Structure 1
């Protein structure tokens, strides 16, 4: 079982009169993570909310009834908690009236679960995101040199746990993940009237990783209104398939203010969407894949280390650009991402003039691991 970085964060939050919420895409290892935490703990109730019988447990629930059901157990784990009606109120009931129970809920749809949790659980929850495996987690598992050697494979097949731990046929696993799970939660929303358009949109986004996207142009390409494109992208983001970086600006006239870039949370899923698992060495999208990988790893590390950094890109009307801008406590770190270590890079003069105290680094295929030590 591959050790997950987030384990200690979760353990340190036990029994503080708060529910613990773990969000992440299907099959990223939420259940496996919790089983590793409770491997030596027998006083745990495991509830799968996709089982209709579990919903009945919480129907018309009172603190007395739930306390009787939980018995002498100390922990209650509710998987896919968004499936339970009024789950936020049920979790509030447990945290307020049964403090001897630590409840942990997982969900694969941030949009649906957060809508049900936010108001009832205001101030009563800790929330975490779980991503596919990270470079750092695999480095700790198999060693730095071996994980560096595996980089070309990771850029094609990604970091989903089943893909990483299974030696045979990663393409089949990723196609199954993509076809069976990718749209499962999203397509349950009534607003998705044309699921085939969602798939077309996702494919268009997959071809544009690392590039700015324009909702109007995407809409024209696939036959949707720009407002619908934005809505679909939001749902894909809330289901942990993709995420957006906004453009950094401080109202300087020449800076792009409404730009957005789209990245995929996992590159294996991205390559499944476009049906291209060709060897990394032969690909024309090396730089795009490497850029997506680097941004992913910064975001994973930020989440697991609870740094609360904010991530942007930067561009001017004159096409001067910075790949990644990281903001923390008013300080800026700028990152230029180059697959080829021999490619020269420097911070645009206009950026340095506007933000003279910013730090500048170049991340490439020969030094990237230093940033995730």
Structure 2
């Protein structure tokens, strides 16, 4: 399945030659460089392309220059230059501005595996000079396009357990080893290297704790007590993990209805396989007590990926009251709100919207997503 087409491919390909830097940000090992190589294999001859890997000290050293004249020998006669892991370069925003402004005939394409030192440092220097996209692990949408809907339905439990990282999908039978390697070698790499993380082991324990709380509200105070650190440090570490594309959060939805939770958050992982690798649990769903959490994480992460890949600017929430009435997921898209409840093994077919919610928000549609109807929820763009 190594020739799986990414949903972003045609969008990004159309931006080549438009006079702007193309920036592709997302977790390590999700195929950012591969995507650029695929596009350039059609657009350019091999000798007109350079790849600069900023994980290499020599490349970082050469990119520390501050004038176009010092970059000229490096650029040479290339027409396309891919700069990998650009967040490793100091003042990368200024470097890219110099390259873009002084070599207008060269198409620069940039990858970054963390927004820790990339998005923040390129936004101002590259204002009006860039196209920016996010790439994540494969989506159900992409795999259905590659094979078939029926094939992906057959693979559902595999996806719930092992997720969608390209190496995982392309190497059946080796999932555990690959995921363990991703977690040990790549998951925290940017967090540890770029930020003042004095106790890396605490970050790993925090991620394990968050993995065990998927689908539940997260308390920074409780996590701090568990880990022996203060709640502000927990909050900072969670923010770093979000910027490194390990996790993302949902805020509670509230419009001042009495008893609604107003400041709570839930944490989810971009990939089920990574979540399971963090807690070293690859047991089948029927042997797990957390199958419902896996189902919820799978559906929400698929929705987030699918919307991102199709440039839909959605916002996401959950809803809960102090009486523990709840809605798993609320999506706001183009001014319209939709509410969803996720049931992996519904005990009854007549799951209803909480009355408090439907009375307060009669304009918001409500749906229950189960294994019988989930494909529409994760492949709606097809």
* TM-score of the aligned structures, taking structure 2 as reference length: 0.93
Q: How many residues align?
A: 373
Alpha-carbon contact 1:153-1:280 (below 8 Å) kept: no
Residue deviations 1:122-143, cap 9 Å, x none? 2322211111111111111221
CA distance in 2, matches of 1:162, 1:212: 32
Distance, in Å, in 2 between the alignment partners of 1:191 and 1:22 is 25
Matched position secondary structure for 1:140: helix
SS at match of 1:198: helix
Unaligned runs of 5+ in 2: none
**Matched position secondary structure for 2:331:** strand
Q: Which moved more, 1:9-18 or 1:216-225?
A: 9-18
How far off is 1:57 after superposition? 2.9
Q: Which residue of 1 aligns with 2:365?
A: 359
- 2:296 corresponds in structure 1 to 291
What's the Cα RMSD here? 1.6
Partner of 1:8: 10
8 Å Cα contact 2:49-2:80 kept in structure 1 = yes
Answer yes or no: is 1:118 the counterpart of 2:117: no
Asked if 1:350 corresponds to 2:356, the answer is: yes
Alignment partner, residue 370 of structure 1: 376
- Whole-Å separation in 1 of the counterparts to 2:117 and 2:84: 14
Change (3 A) 1:98 1:189: closer
Q: Is the 8 A contact 1:210 1:263 kept in 2?
A: yes
Structure 1: gaps of 5 or more residues: none
Paired residues for 1:269-288 under 5 Å: 269-288=274-293
Shift of 1:336: 1.0
Secondary structure in 2 aligned to 1:240? coil
2:34 to 10, 32, 43: 32
Match of 1:135 in 2: 140
Are the counterparts in 2 of residues 47 and 79 from structure 1 also a CA contact under 8 Å? yes
* Cα-to-partner distance string for 1:176-203 (whole Å, 9 max, x where unaligned): 1111111211112442111111111111
Q: Given that residues 65 and 71 in structure 2 are in contact (C-alpha distance below 8 angstroms), is that contact kept between their aligned partners in structure 1?
A: no
1:163 aligns with 2:168: yes
SS at match of 1:111: coil
Change (3 A) 1:198 1:59: closer
